[in-house]
Amino acid sequence: MIIKLKLRKGLDRKYSDIVAWIQRDTEFEKDIVDVLEFFNENIKITQKRRFHKYYKIKTSNLAVMISFISTILEIIPETLIIEEYEKN
């Protein structure tokens, strides 16, 4: 999974946008969709396609983005632990 963060200020905007690009991965897709639904009111979600498929998450509120990224990072180890448990 690839997570990219970009901070940019738009030319015609009064505030900065915080943008996160999260690679769509079949392993974590269900968990990521659940997190996106939870934060849906505070973020703008678009789907982009470059070499890989990405969710592009945009918000002007830094606290929301920090909470969103920390939630995503908490999901990753839990999923890997469950997979290792199921293999054994």
- Write the CB contacts of 22 (distance below 8 Å, at least 6 apart in sequence): 1, 2, 3, 4, 32, 54, 55, 57, 72
- Are the CB atoms for 2 and 32 separated by under 8 Å? no
pLDDT, position 38: 92
pLDDT, position 50: 67
Q: Give the C-alpha separation, 87 to 54, whole Å.
A: 28
Domains observed in the chain: 3-87 (3.30.1370)
pLDDT, position 88: 64
Judged by average pLDDT, the poorest of 10-19, 28-37, 51-60 is 10-19
- Looking up tokens 């963060």 gives 5
**Is residue 12 pLDDT above 60, yes or no?**
no
